[in-house]
Amino acid sequence: MGTRSTVGPIGSVFKWIVLGFFLLVALFPLFWLALSSLKTNIELQASPFTLPAVVQWVNYANALKLAGLVGLFLHSILVAAGAVSLNLVVTSLAGFVLARETFRGRDAIHTLLTAGVLIPIISFMVPYFSVITKTGLYDKLTALMVVYAAINVPVSIFLVTSFMRSIPKELEEAAVIDGCSFFQRYSRVILPLARTGLVTSGTFCFIYAWNEFIMALLLTSSESSRTLQLGIRFFTSQFVTDYTSMYAAIVISIIPSILIYTTLHNKIISGLTAGAVKG
């Protein structure tokens, strides 16, 4: 008994020390980034880990005006919203068929679609560039919507299908007795009950589309189709880099992802656990 009472508090303290350490490791870069965005470039180079002598809110003004961050922000919102909408429409329909219908080859198709998570995204660069160029979508925001939606199909299929499988079959059978058609079963019964799974997959798709850089660099070239993450790199020129304004732009760019996750984190976690346990 004495050993248990001694080991218990020690283990609890050690656990909180470890958790505190990882929390510090996770938050310190964000804190340093926000702090650096309020300095001058000279202050940043001379003393990168001290508080700013005078808070430089002008860095945020420069990020918004000089780099045209407002326009880039709207481009990213449009691309992310379009990618999420397209992804959810396709994967919810596919997930409904794979989860609720019985036919030969169903498991093979599900395995084939979800196996895409094992393929490095960079390996799709040449095929996507070739398809987008030949279809005339190069340097258009539509190209990014389609590509981002397609890249997230494997993860979304896995999440949505797992969640739809957890819905009781009796609800769908009752709908069939009431005369519901195939599409009515999907739209009136399964889709409303699968909202948590859709929110989970949609959030992952949004975060990917919002933060993606490589495909945006590959598939666009003009300012009219430039996204926020791509625009941040233009704070660097051949002779000078405005680091503090660039950091201010980065702080602005991560706010939507943080807001969306903090707003929907309960649905995201419940969607992951429900699909994992019941699916």
Would you kindly state where each structural domain of the chain is located, as residue ranges? Answer: 60-278
Q: Which CATH class is domain 60-278?
A: mainly alpha
Total number of residues shown for the chain = 279
Q: Which amino acid is located at 156 in the chain?
A: S
Residues 128-144 have a mean pLDDT of 95
Can you give the pLDDT at residue 201?
92
For residue 241, name the pLDDT band (cuts at 50, 70, 90).
confident
**Which tens digits make up the pLDDT trace of 36-69?**
999 999 999 888 898 998 999 999 988 888 777 8
Q: Three-state DSSP class for 89? A: helix
The CA distance from 215 to 79, in Å, is 12
Q: Are 117 and 154 in contact (CB under 8 A)?
A: yes
- 159 exposure class (CB count in 10 Å sphere: 0-12, 13-18, 19+): buried
The CA distance from 64 to 215, in Å, is 24
The CA distance from 178 to 29, in Å, is 57
Can you give the pLDDT at residue 76?
94
Integer-rounded Cα Rg, in Å, for the chain is 24
Residues 262-271 have a mean pLDDT of 76
Residue 203, CA distances (Å) to 73, 87, 259, 264 in order: 18, 11, 11, 8
The CA distance from 74 to 239, in Å, is 29
Lowest mean pLDDT segment, chosen from 2-11, 169-178, 267-276 = 2-11
pLDDT above 70 as % of the chain: 92
**Which tens digits make up the pLDDT trace of 73-104?**
999 999 999 999 999 999 999 999 999 888 89
pLDDT at 278 over 50: no
Lowest mean pLDDT segment, chosen from 11-20, 58-67, 178-187 = 58-67
Q: Are 253 and 70 in contact (CB under 8 A)?
A: no
For residue 234, name the pLDDT band (cuts at 50, 70, 90).
confident
Can you give the pLDDT at residue 279?
43
Highest mean pLDDT among 65-69, 111-115, 177-181, 260-264: 111-115
Can you give the pLDDT at residue 233?
79
The CA distance from 42 to 45, in Å, is 5
Residue 63, CA distances (Å) to 52, 66, 69, 81 in order: 18, 6, 6, 23
Rounded to 5°, angle at Cα 278 from 158 and 175: 90
Residues 191-203 have a mean pLDDT of 90
Q: What single-letter DSSP state applies at residue 225?
A: G
Q: Which amino acid is located at 45 in the chain?
A: Q
The CA distance from 25 to 178, in Å, is 56
